[in-house]
Amino acid sequence: MENLKVLITREQIAARIADMGREITRDSAGEPVIFVGVLKGAAIFLSDLVRSVGLDATFEFIGVASYAMGQNPAEQRLAWDSTGEVRLTKDVDQSLREKNIILVEDILDTGLTLTFLKRLLLGHQPRSFRVATLLDKPLRRKLAIEADYVGFTIPDEFVVGYGLDYAEKYRNLPDICVISNIL
Ligand code: IMP
Ligand code: MG
């Protein structure tokens, strides 16, 4: 049976997001910003982050999937460890040309997803492009890419909750937990 252990509490998450919001507000100094959330994992983080900034902010969602990703946990675990190619499942609904973009990710792991999305979004020729990720697992990085705003740097463990899933489960847990006893 899967086992869950709290790594980051809801209170720690809330406090850190308040800090990130202040940082983003300061850096963007009165400019309008479009937050682009990566489905589905970043939806909960985005909803808290946008309410912590004092800016003229709007948001969009973009969807990606790994080609190796299947429905069952074994395949998902495989996808997590693969060099999996990324594909777009939902594009943004507007042109981002000349806009200030902040891409919002749940977790930066190998860097494959972010590298793919950065290239795609830079193709829109935005005015500025920055990345905010709630979690960062630098030990797993395969491609050299970093976020501008990082909530928490965590060890090489599989985590769930606060938007993050294991086979689509546990996204609604309010705390971020390490899951063990998975394949
Ligand atoms: P990357 O392309 O390897 O950087 O992975 C990014 C995506 O992999 C994230 O947006 C998550 O969907 C997924 N992922 C990576 N690590 C974890 C984890 O620990 N828990 C849940 N999902 C993860
Ligand atoms: Mg996932």
Element (H, E) at 41: none
pTM of the model: 0.92
Catalytic residue among 48, 106, 109, 136: 109
Q: What angle do CA 108, 112, 115 make, to 5 degrees?
A: 90
109 is catalytic: yes
CA of 164 to the centre of ligand 2 (A): 6
pLDDT 10s digits, 112-136: 999 999 999 999 999 999 999 999 9
Nearest CA to ligand 1 atom 17: 158
pLDDT of 82 strictly over 70: no
Mean pLDDT of the chain: 92
Single out the residue of 113, 122, 126, 133 nearest to residue 45, CA to CA.
Answer: 133
Q: Which of residues 51 and 83 earns the better pLDDT score?
A: 51
pLDDT at 152: 98
> How many Å lie between the centroid of ligand 1 and the Cα of residue 137?
9
